[in-house]
Each structure stands twice: as C-alpha cells, then as structure tokens.
Structure 1
Amino acid sequence: MLKLIYVNPTTGSDRNSGSQQAPLKTITQALKEAASGTKIELVEGQYNATSGEIFPLIVPFGVTIIGNENNKGSGISISGSGEYISRIFARQNITFVLSNGSRLIGVTVTNSASRGTAVWIESSSPTIANCTFINCQREGVFVTGDANPIIQNNIFTQNSASGISITKNSQGQVRGNNCFQTGFGIAIGDRATTKIVDNNIYDNRSGIVVSGDARPVLRENVCELNIQDGLTVVGNALPDIGNNKNSGNNIFRNNGQFDIQNASINKLISINNQVEPHSVNGNIQFFADPEPEPEPIPEPEPTLLPKSTKLTDISGHWGFEFIQELVQLGIVAGFPNRTFRPDATITRSQYAALLVKAFNPQSLREPIVFEDIKENFWAYQVIQQAYQGLFFSGYPGKKFFPNQNIPRIQVIGSLISGLGLTNQVEIDLDIYDDSSKIPNSAQDEIATATQYGLIVNYPKTTILNPNRPATRTEVAVMVYQVLVLIGQVRKIDSPFIIG
C-alpha cells in the first residue's frame, strides 16, 4: 500500500504524523518511518544540518523522495555531508546513499565537504531524475560496484571533479542530462558498460573521459565547447561510438584541444558521428552511413488550440505560461504525444521555422545557396526566408549547418539583427558573472538585448551561458519577449527575464 509522508523544514515537526496538514520537519525522520512503496513529498525550503538533517541520508529499498520535478529541484535545496563506509572505497563524504528500487526526483543537492559526493550508488539499481547537482566538492553522482541505475534529465554543474563518475562493473543508463561548468562532464572507468545517451555535455574541463577497461555505449550525445577534449579515451578503454547495427549519432565539436582524443591502446571506430577528422588525435577510423533526411519539426494545429488542450510535460515548468501562449498563437507546437520537451535543444533549422511562424520576415536581401542544404530539405524555404529577412547568416564556405544545435548567443544575435535594434543606453555586461565568455563581436548585441528585456537566464539570472545550446523553452521565451516589444502579445512577468 502506498504511503505518503510530507516534510516541511520550516513549519513541520518530527513529532507530527507526516500528513499534509501535519508534516514532519526532516527527511531523516521520514526515512526512519518509510517502508517500500513510501513516497516522501518535500516542500520548498532548506534541508541541512541546521534544520535537523543527519547525513548521509540512506534511502531504503522502494522509497521515493520527490520535490519540484518540473523545475529540476528549484527551491528544494538539500545540503550536507556525512561519513559513509563503502565496501569498495572505504570512508566517503556523502549526502545521499540510494538503495535498490529507490528514487530521487526533483531536488537540488550540494555537498560542499572536502571530497564530497552528492549521491552514492553502490551495487544498487535506483532512479535519479529531474534533479540539480551543484557545487559538490567531488562529483554529483558516483556509481560503483555492480550498479545498474537510471540517471536521466538532471543538471550537473559546478562540481569540482565530475558531474557523474561511473566505476567497477556498473551498467545502467545515463540519458538526457545536462553537464556543464564542471570538471569532467561524465567519467567512466574500470569495466563499466553504461549506456550514455542523448546528453548535452559542454563548457567543462573535458566532456566524456573513458579509462581503464571500460566499454560504455555512447549514442546521440552532444559534446562541445569543453576546455580540453570532447571525448578522451585512455588505457584499454574502448567506447562504442557506433557499430554496424547501430550508428553513434554523437556530435563532437568546437572543443578547445581535440573533439576526440584517443590515447588508448585500441583503435576507435566512429560510425556516423558528427566530428571533423582534423579535430581528432590518435588511432581513429571513420565510417559514415548515408545521411538521412531530418524529420520535420511537428507542425502546430492550423487553428488556435482550445484552452482545454494541455501539453503533458510543461505544467509547473518555469516557462509554462510563455509556452502556452505561443501554442495558442500557433507559433510553437507540441509533439504528437502531446509533449513539448521544454528542456530539449533546438537546431538551427528548427529555429528558422519558428522565426518564420512568429515574424513572417520580408525579403531584405537576395537569397543564398547554402552548400549543405538541398532544395528538397524540409526547412529549405524557411531558412531562405529567415536569411533574406536578416535573422540569419551562414558560416564561411556558404555553410548553414541546419542540424547543429543553436547556441543562446546566436538566438540573441538573430533577434537583434532581424529587428534592426540598436543599443540606446550604456549597459554594463558585468551584470553577468560569465561576461568574459561573451565574444567581443557579440557584446553590442548582448547589451541591446539586455536593454530591451529579450534575455532569459534560468536557473541563475546572473549566468548568461552565451555558448550553451539554447533549450526549446529559452527560445520560446526570447521570441515571446520580442512579440511583447512590438506590441503583439501581453507581458508575462518572470524572475528569469533580464532587463
């Protein structure tokens, strides 16, 4: 029988019953009362030693801890560390230990202790989803033993060693996560065979590092803009980045040293990955399947969606109101399964299609022939219209790179260019903590966008992340802000709008 326990660190008491009307004060007490099938509901607040927590928090078999799932744990901050004796690695400083069948969903976890790890998974099969792991002194999640976890749709940022470390004989899946501004995005060692699928790994010291005898499977990941390498392979490691039955479909690009560095003793076989041969180092052989035509982005309904129509994955999301308004205007649309995928990235061709729906730009210059876009490509016409309307420019060599994820800085620049906006007042870009990452050529555009309230920064308003791939929600909100500027829609208040 499902049991619900509510926890409120501000108004709760550990002498209460744990009902919604009489919540407990600590997760610690809730775990003492929990049995398999228990769901522990957390309200917003600070969960730490001061509020009464005793770390590490060991989550028993079949117990779920859930907070703010839609906003990746925003407002539910769990911070602390306690001594845990691992059977494999001895004494560790840990916040959470997850047992078989347990689930950690929608919380923000920090372990600022020396060599502190937020979540320890040892020979168990838990699920971690829609969480944020930030400012840990070692890694966000450590996986070891014969573990077989599911780690999906989380944010790993500003952790000293790695976002995720996977060791020993671990398997499992790491899917749909964002790893940025951390040590190694994902580190895989020993004999691990984990599946690493559809993750965005950027702006780290290195993206994915594979060592020891590890044999992970890498599919549909984006590793870009990392300081050193996108993918580093050492020792006897041999990641699967594509085979005869299943293409890799990873993207390795724009990394500081090499997009792929193979320093292992093995030949690395790359099948149908996006990587430039001149940006790799070591023994690597490339094979490519015939490039498939990309699927068109889902078309919205031809008439306005009724108020009762709901997308299934945006309720409670920070961009919910903006997305809903644009859906009803027919500018953005959900997928056939009624999802929006608010935190997914968006390609340059998908963005061109959105621009045309939102602004229907007029032709202000002659068309161009992009060498990498055929006339039968689904987005050929919208790319031409966006280009002729001054919203887009190509790359050198008449390249457009239609399937490349568009960085936030390009979204901002395209809106300023297409609208013909200029900066009327002096803006100090030091309001952004990462202003040093703004290229000199884009500083006027960023200042102009700041002045007109077109920039959206989530979750931290002082972090611009100019080079990170934009999410579908971020693009939707910035386009909506343009529509506000030109008087086409009502203003929506949001703490994440800068201006």
Structure 2
Amino acid sequence: MMKTFGSWVILVIVWCLLIWHLTAAPLNQDKTPTLFAEGISKNPAGMIYYVNSKTGNDSTGTGAETKPFKTITAAVNRARSGDTVMVESANTYDAANGEIFPIRLKSGMTLTRKKVTSSGSMVLVSPNPVISGGARYDIPDSPGGRYPSIIGADNTVISSLSFSIVNSPGGTNDGTAVLCDGTSPTIEKCSFSGTAHAGITTLGTAHPRISDNNFAGNLNWGITAYGESYPTISKNTFSTLNGIDCTASSHPSIENNKISCGSAGISTKGSANPTITGNTLNGNGDYGIIVRMDSTPAIQGNTIKQNPVGIYIATGGATRPDIGGGGRSTGGNIFQDNSQYDIENRNTVDIMATGNTWGTICCEDISSRIYDKEDNPMYGAVSYGTCTPCRIMATMRPPL
C-alpha cells in the first residue's frame, strides 16, 4: 500500500513539473513581445521604427513598416539605444508635419532614410527625406544662441538625410541643422542647404565624425567648430558662402575635402589648432585658407589652386601656421594658378613654408607669388626652401 501511494506521489510531481516547463517563459525570452506583435522589425542592433509623414500616425502608429509614425519626433521618443529610426524618402518633416524641434537623439541610436528597394535588377532611387525647422538653443559665448534641427548624441549615426536649414523668426544666421554639444555622433551621406548659419556646429569637447556629406547654398558656413571640439571632417564637398570655420580652442582634423566657396574655403581663428591635410581648395572667391588671431594650423598635402589668394595670414595676434618645415607639417602643398598670391603674409611673424610645389623651381617666380617682408618690411618673412635662381643662371649661359 505504501509503495502504491509513493508511486502516485512521484507521478503527481512529474506531472506538475511538466506543466510548469510547458507554460513558464524561458529566462532569455525577449522582454518586449508586443513589439513584434505590432509588426515592428528587429535587427541585431535593436528595433527598427518607421516614419512616413504622408501615411503615418503618431496616435495609432506603432512604428511598424505597415503602421509608421508620422513624425521623427515620435519615433525618436519611442526608440532606445541600439534602435534605428528609418524615415520615408522624398517626404518633408517640419513643424507643419508635427515635428517638435530640436529633435534630441539618444545615445547609440541611428537616424537614416528608409532603405532603397529594388525591382528585379533595377534599384529604385528616390530623394532623401527633408528635415526643416529648429528651436532656440543657448550656447556659451553666443548671445543669440543657435536654432538647430537636431541635437546629436554620443555614438549616434545620422545618415542619408537632407536638411533645408532655416533661421529663427526674426533671427539672423542662427539656423543650424545638427548641433553637437559635447557629443560625438557620426554624420554621413547627408546634404545641407539653405540660407542660415551652418550645416553642422560642434561645441565643448565634441568628437563627431563628419564624412561624405554635401554642403551647398547660402549657408554662411558649412561647418563651424567651437569650444575645444575635435571634429574629424573628411571627404565632404563644400560650395557654401564659406566652408569650415575653426575657432575658440577647437582642434579639427580636416582631411580630403573638396572646397569651392564664395569667400573663404577654411578659416582658422581664436586659438584653434586644426590639421588641414589632403584637401582640394579650388576656386574660392577670396581665400583658400585664411589664418587669423592666435590660431596655429598645420597645413600639409593640400592642392590650393585658382583662388585669388591661396593662404592669407592676417594682421594681429600671434598666429603661426605651419605650411611646411615648422615641426608639424612637412609641406607637400601644391600651389597653382592663384591669381594674386600663393601666400600673403600680413602678420609680423615669420612663416615656414618649405617642401611645397609652386609650379616653378625658379626663386624669382616663387618669390613673386609670395607677399611678405620682401614686399613690406613691417611684415614677417615666408621661408619657402630651396629653389633655382633661374635669371642669374640665364645670364651666365655661354654663347652658342
């Protein structure tokens, strides 16, 4: 009898364990099953939320591709670190659409256009989504503040978007598309245009990576670097009023860009210490590079051509650019067809500019392309290295 009773007890225990195993959730089960029930996609990095200003709805939408949000604002508010917000192409996202500016991204998220689809062997390409709008944002040393569309965050990616930048109502050149206030996003494959202050502004100790973008139109600057920021600016194209402004104590790395602007390609001022390497500064309206105040740029391996002045060193301050041979630059710059001067030194400091190519090896021709102490003793000399005294040698040639 006891044996039979023991067998029943064991059977009941086994039966209870089996029921618990079948009904209990696994320890590693996704904590957000309702998201998948709503049709929201998940990739290895996180969730994907879709936005469509024409068909979306912030009240009833879930962020699924079939039930998108109407605004980027709503999708960003729902998203978390590691998530992606995909914005429908060819649509406009502004205050009239319900956007609340500035849109503040979260660390680790991605904001990009919806992926391009294909039809058979044909890739269907459509314009990038357009973001336009802003709100006041106070920044140090700027009484007027800025009017940004987006506030970047650390480890975020902003990709394949178009920004039509506007100023604040009654404001003067305060509009900015993306503002990086001590943050380090990646900004790539975007286009920036409009009549406003800048496409991108970096502040504080920001370390953004800015690459493969296009800056155009009547922007006062494509990019402005303030504070002690360290932006890496590479492989971009600039055709704005001015290209890149390096000021305060910023340390930009400016590499392999194509810059053809209405006035200055690159400006350095304050105590900025940029590295300017491998860029093409072609056909700027006034200067390829203008160096002012106490800035100390290292200028190496650039092609500087068809500007009125290739590099202009302004009066005032203790600016000391290294154009070659000063310890930070080995030269390697190519000066070609600048209509007035390759280098114009209007400062009292002496400038090192050795190891460069001037389009000639003749001392007399190189000297004529440089304005310095030889032209006015109140200014510093420009040392351009070895050359050949062609005219003296010509007078020494034996008769035929």
Q: Which TM bucket (shorter chain)?
A: 0.5 to 0.7
Which residue of the other structure, out of 315, 334, 339, is the alignment partner of 1:274?
334
What amino acid does structure 2 have at the position aligned with 1:170? S
What is the CA distance between 1:281 and its match in structure 2? 0.2
| Deviation, structure 1 residue 220 | 0.3
Check whether the contact 2:210–2:233 (CA below 8 A) recurs between aligned residues. Answer: yes
- Of the candidates 56, 79, 82, which is equivalent to residue 135 of structure 2? 82
CA contact (8 A) 1:36 1:63 kept: yes
User: Are 2:66 and 1:21 equivalent residues in the alignment?
Assistant: yes
Give me the whole-angstrom Cα distance separating, in 1, the residues matched to 2:97 and 2:292. 44
Q: Which residue of 1 aligns with 2:389?
A: none
Indicate if the aligned counterparts of 2:193 and 2:219 stay in contact, CA closer than 8 A.
no
- Number of the residue aligned with 1:125: 184
Please give the per-residue CA displacement for 1:148-170, whole angstroms capped at 9, x wherever unaligned. 10000001111432000001101
Aligned CA distance change for structure 1 residues 289 and 69 (closer, same or farther; 3 Å): farther
> Is contact 2:188–2:212 with CA below 8 Å preserved after alignment?
yes
Per-residue deviation at 1:269?
Answer: 2.8
2:328 corresponds to: none
In structure 1, what is the equivalent of residue 307 of structure 2?
Answer: 255
Q: CA deviation at 1:88?
A: 6.0
CA distances 1:156-211 after superposition (whole Å, capped 9, x unpaired):
1114320000011011300000010x222000011111110000000321100000
Residue among 265, 271, 276 paired with 1:218 = 276
Match of 1:65 among 81, 102, 111: 111
State whether structure 2 residue 163 is matched by structure 1 residue 112. Answer: no
Equivalent residue, structure 1, for 2:24: none
Match of residue 284 from structure 1: 351
1:66-124 alpha-carbon deviations (Å, 9 max, x no partner): 01689999331111111223366464211111111111100001222232111111111
* Aligned 8 A contact 1:214 1:237 in 2: yes
CA distance in 2, matches of 1:51, 1:17: 18
Q: Quick check: 1:67–1:73 contact (8 Å CA) kept in 2?
A: no
Q: Give 1:48 deviation, angstroms.
A: 0.9
Task: State the partner residue of 1:431.
Answer: none
Say which one has the larger Rg: 2
1:72 and 1:234 map into 2 onto residues whose CA distance is 44
Q: Where does 1:5-44 land on structure 2 (aligned, <5 Å)?
A: 5-14=49-58, 15-44=60-89
Deviation for aligned residue 1:50: 1.4
Alpha carbons 1:73, 1:132 under 8 Å: kept: no
CA distance in 2, matches of 1:222, 1:9: 39
Instruction: Tell me, yes or no, if the aligned pair for 1:118 and 1:136 is still in contact at 8 Å.
Output: no
Superposed counterparts of 1:185-334, under 5 Å: 185-241=243-299, 248-256=300-308, 258-263=309-314, 265-270=318-323, 271-275=331-335, 278-282=341-345, 283-288=350-355
* Equivalent position amino acid for 1:27 in 2: I
SS of the residue corresponding to residue 75 of structure 2 reads: helix
Once the two structures are superposed, residues 208-244 of structure 1 have per-residue CA deviations (whole angstroms, 9 ceiling, x without a partner) of: 0000111100110011111110000000111011xxx
2:297 and 2:320 in contact (8 A); partners too? no
Are 2:291 and 2:319, in contact at CA under 8 Å, matched by a contact in 1?
no
Q: Which structure has the highest strand share of the two? A: 2
DSSP 3-state at the match of 1:82: coil
- 3-state secondary structure, aligned to 1:109: strand
Q: For residue 234 of structure 2, what is the aligned residue in structure 1?
A: 175
- What residue identity is the alignment partner of 2:155? G
Q: 1:4 to 1:157 in 2, by over 3 A?
A: same
Output one character per residue of 1:285-333: Cα deviation in whole Å (capped at 9) or x when no partner: 3222799xxxxxxxxxxxxxxxxxxxxxxxxxxxxxxxxxxxxxxxxxx
Which amino acid is the alignment partner of residue 57 of structure 1?
Answer: I
Q: Which residue number corresponds to residue 48 of structure 1?
A: 94
In structure 2, the residue matched to 1:362 is none
* Contact kept in structure 2, 1:142 and 1:166, CA below 8 Å: yes
Match in the other structure for 2:203: 144
State percent identity of aligned pairs.
26
* CA distance in structure 1 between the aligned counterparts of 2:66 and 2:196, rounded to whole angstroms: 37
RMSD of aligned residue pairs (Cα, Å): 2.5
SS in 2 for 1:235: coil
Contact 2:265 2:287 in 1 (8 A): yes
Distance 1:211 1:106 in 2: 31
Q: Specify the SS of the correspondent of 1:101.
A: coil
Given that 1:7 and 1:27 are in contact with CA atoms closer than 8 Å, whether structure 2 keeps it comes out as: yes
Structure 2 unaligned regions, length at least 5: 1-44, 117-123, 324-330, 362-400
In structure 1, C-alpha distance between the alignment counterparts of 2:180 and 2:115, rounded to whole Å? 21
Letter in structure 2 aligned against 1:146: T
Which letter maps to 2:52?
Answer: N
For residues 329-350 of structure 1, the C-alpha deviation after alignment (integer angstroms, 9 at most, x for no partner) is xxxxxxxxxxxxxxxxxxxxxx
SS of 1:21 mapped into structure 2: coil
Give 1:253 shift: 1.0
| Alignment partners' CA distance in 2, 1:132 and 1:25 | 22
CA contact (8 A) 1:230 1:259 kept: yes
- Using the size of structure 1 for normalisation, the TM-score is 0.54
User: How many Å separate the matches in 1 of 2:53 and 2:88?
Assistant: 8
Letter in 2 for 1:280: I
Give the AA of the match of 1:108: S
Aligned residue identity for 1:76:
P
> Secondary structure of 1:287's partner?
coil
Rounded Cα–Cα distance in structure 2 between residues aligned with 1:139 and 1:155: 12
